[in-house]
Amino acid sequence: MAAAQGRLSDGAGGMDDANEGDRDGGTSAPLPFRAAVDALRAARLRPQIEVEPTPAPKRLAPFAYALEATVVDGDQDLADGRLVLLHDPDGHDAWRGTFRLVTLVRAELEPEMAADPLLPDVCWSWLTGALQARGLAYGEPSGTVTRASSHYFGGLAERPAASQIEIRASWTPREGLGGVPDTGAHLASWCDLLAQVAGLPPAGPGDASVVTLPQRRGPQSR
């Protein structure tokens, strides 16, 4: 599965433009934002989840930093997503804070799972449950859960029908000392959501490794 693309929204616009210069955590960015970005870069994550920085949107906030992730099992990509950290030092009325996390997560579904009428509610509970399981305080959550089915005809008729789930969400992480939220823990909870959507079992006590965010990798065959 290709890395998640498209538009993420928290009510402030799209995600299809990239920030430039040091709006992504460089030396002229505010100290709280730089500290929050450093915590994302230092997070300890499950080894099945490949995470790397990606261009962040320009118009959602004065400062933004973005990551994309893929859940990998052997040569299969099971789920993917994008997480964007937004920061407005002056605060934002809709956020009720100076930071906001915005995400898109998507995965292919088994037919019987796609037919479950409770699936959207379950997927949303996976997001909130992942945050609560790590004891994270947050506010103003909002989002959508969408499922789509594809059926093939003509020259593509031999392909089996396919279903996909997509979670778009945003929330305000509560700020700690120095006005900095625990973004590393929020990233870890987001990876828990990715793993659950992908159908991975819960992580065991030793099932985490230090993942330093690499430079963008070139095309890879799975």
34 has a pLDDT exceeding 70: yes
186/46: higher pLDDT: 186
Binned at pLDDT 50, 70 and 90, residue 25 comes out as: low
27 has a pLDDT exceeding 90: no
**From 20-29, 175-184, 203-212, the region with the lowest mean pLDDT:** 203-212
Instruction: Tell if the pTM clears 0.85, that is, is over it.
Output: no
Which of 201, 220, 219, 215 has the alpha carbon at shortest distance from 48?
Answer: 201
Residue 98 CA neighbour count, 13 Å, CB half:
15
Residue 104 CA neighbour count, 13 Å, CB half:
16
